[in-house]
Amino acid sequence: MPLADFQARMRGAIVAGELGGLAPLLTGGRDPMARFEIHRRHYEASLARALTEKFPAMVWLAGSEFVAQAARDFIRATPPVGPCIAEYGEDFPAFVTSRVQGEPLPWLRWVGALEWQLSHAALAVARESLDMAALQAVAPEQLANCTLTLQPGLRYLPAPWPVDELLKLFLSEQAPERFVFEPEDIFLEVRGARGAFSMTRLDAGTFAFRQALARGETIGNAAERALDADASFDAGGGLIQLMSGEFVAAIDDQAQGVLQ
């Protein structure tokens, strides 16, 4: 049997439980299928553990047994498609929320989405930031067409619930006697590096501006998006805030190339 066919059959048995025709391929020992089952359970258990460890606040809020079972079901329904486990599980919060029985918990997926952003931001390594002199080196008529490379630990998340309050409560390890949680549109900026992170609420205009820049849009396009969100947004002031806050690692000026 060609190696590719053997690997495909093994993957089908481990991931999807497709055991038909597998027995003749396993040899040695008294019960090779029993040994295979140990390997399959280890695959599932290790992935489930990796998933739940990424979302400790979701576990805290929804219960460890519930989230662990959801993780096992998620693995069967959506197995990894890449070799990096750190990149696996972005859709898990929505999957968990969809499985809640009884009283719905619509905010749960947003707690998980914030945890996902925090965990990835905290792994980033900050680059040397540019100062105002780099911005002043760009010709004024070229500025709107420039793109910025922001620090790699920046993430932007809009949410319809104040989930940053829940995360802060979880991190404080304190449970208040009463906690009122109502829907609220918030715009979060997550900044992290080398294991540390912070969360900041932004106004709608600043959020739209920075999120567009983080996506690689030009300063001009980002300013337009910000003004659509808030007609009073000051693009010049927003740009100065980015530079003075050490958010910018490089400027791509089409006339002069990349400044970094």
How do residues 46-84 score in pLDDT, each as one tens digit? 889 999 999 999 999 999 999 999 999 998 888 888 888
**pLDDT of amino acid 94:** 95
pLDDT at 89 over 90: yes
Phi, psi of 163 (to 5 degrees): -70, -20
Percent above pLDDT 90 for the chain: 60
**pLDDT of amino acid 216:** 95
Strand partners, 114: none
**pLDDT of amino acid 181:** 83
Query: Residue 121: which of 188, 197, 210 has the closest Cα?
Result: 197
pLDDT at 34 over 80: no
**Which band of pLDDT confidence, cut at 50, 70 and 90, is reported for residue 5?**
low
Which structure tokens are listed for 80?
Answer: 């990894």
**pLDDT of amino acid 118:** 95
How do residues 200-251 score in pLDDT, each as one tens digit? 999 999 999 999 999 999 999 999 999 999 999 999 999 999 999 999 999 9
* Average pLDDT, rounded, for the chain: 87
How do residues 143-181 score in pLDDT, each as one tens digit? 999 999 999 999 999 999 999 999 999 998 877 777 788
Query: pTM of the prediction?
Result: 0.84
Three-state DSSP state, 66: helix
Q: Burial, 141: exposed, middle or buried (Cβ in 10 Å; 0-12, 13-18, 19+)?
A: exposed
Are the beta carbons of 151 and 249 closer than 8 angstroms? yes
Question: Of 52-61, 78-87, 111-120, 122-131, where does mean pLDDT reach its minimum?
Answer: 78-87
Q: Where are the alpha helices (DSSP H) in the chain?
A: 3-16, 32-54, 56-62, 64-77, 92-98, 108-122, 132-136, 163-172, 204-214, 219-229, 235-244
**pLDDT of amino acid 229:** 98
User: pLDDT higher for 157 or 35?
Assistant: 157
Residues with Cβ within 8 Å of 142's Cβ and at least 6 positions away in sequence, in order, are 253, 254, 255
Mean per-residue pLDDT for 9-29? 63
Query: Residue 85: which of 48, 57, 110 has the closest Cα?
Result: 48
**Which band of pLDDT confidence, cut at 50, 70 and 90, is reported for residue 113?**
very high
pLDDT at 17 over 80: no
Mean per-residue pLDDT for 98-102? 84
Strands 196-201 and 248-253: unpaired
